[in-house]
Amino acid sequence: MIGEAIHEGLLRNGFSNVIEPNHSVDLTNRKEVTELFNAMNPKYVFMSGGESGGISANQLFPARLMLDNLLVATNVISTAYEAGVTKLLYLASSCIYPKNCHQPMNEDAILTGSLEPTNEAYAVAKIAGLKLCQAYNQQFGNDGASTKYITCIPANVFGPGDDFDLEESHVIPSLIRKMHEAKILGSDEVEIWGSGTPRREFIFSKDLADACIAIMEDYEDTQPINVGVGSDLSIGDLARLIQKVVEYPGKLTFNTNRPDGIPAKMLDSNKLIDLGWRPNYSLLQALQATYRWYASIGQSINKPYGKVNPSIPYELGR
């Protein structure tokens, strides 16, 4: 989802010498990564690869999530250096912030407290990638290659091409799928994990892509930079907004026996704002575009994570 959005964003912003995403390359395989870099000789790399998921996926597959992201980070970052990449942008996750972090979360708060247990394995792998970028800058930043490996920390990302698997997806695609199927089947209610009170910040994949391009062009600090929209909402309010978008007439029930996750996650994105970036789409517009894609195309695609092609046209309201 994110890689395709960045690719489309580069073309939309007038960049022509752009390598198309290659989903056949296994980024956990060092040999395949090396062959890709040797063949393509990239100068700028947006590193969005790596598996992710919601609370359910993090509870069911912590070893898989951690190992996948560790392998991808070590393979891509080290190979980028060996290939002489000019600049690399690594996408981390807001999961790397402490569970009880002050809101909004500032980049200085990383590693100042314990992580949220429901996504600790994934978060540790993402922190390792961030620290590996900083280590390369520290060790090789003054050599002839002038290594510049930067990290951005996006809010919860969603959009066309997202993973809608109920065991592995994040909250927005999960709720869209649940309510769409409940509407089609005529189910009276949809169950939502947790109390509905945790607050989250969300960013549309197209907005994230534009932010990543702006960061690649204008940001060179070795410290990470947050990428958020400046507002959040509760999971309960999100569910009711999705219910409106999907036009699901049934009842929403909150299962408090299921975990809530971290109480709140909103990013302090002042660094990004200072670069002049602003989101173009409201949450409602982005949810409508995502649901249109899922209802027309996404529900018919039954492929493993990372194989969905979001570049199939979809209508995007402004």
Catalytic residue, candidates 122, 149, 219, 294:
122
Specify the 3-state DSSP secondary structure of 264: strand
Report whether 226 contacts 265 (CB < 8 A).
Answer: no
User: What is the Cα–Cα distance from 151 to 226, expressed in whole angstroms?
Assistant: 9
Tokens found for residue 181 = 């199927």
User: What is the Cα–Cα distance from 193 to 148, expressed in whole angstroms?
Assistant: 41
User: What is the Cα–Cα distance from 237 to 145, expressed in whole angstroms?
Assistant: 48
Ranges of beta strands (E only) in the chain are: 44-47, 87-91, 148-154, 156-158, 189-193, 199-200, 202-204, 225-227, 233-234, 251-255, 264-265
State which H helix or E strand residue 74 sits in. Answer: helix 62-82
Phi-psi region of 306 (alpha: psi -120 to 50; beta: other; left: phi over 0): left
Tokens found for residue 36 = 């890709």
Closest CA to 95 of 282, 259, 226, 233: 226
Residue 294 is among the residues annotated as catalytic for this protein: no
Residue 120 burial class via C-beta count within 10 angstroms: exposed 0-12, middle 13-18, buried 19 and up: middle
Q: Is the dihedral of CA 214, 220, 222, 223 positive or negative?
A: negative
Mind telling me the catalytic residues? 122
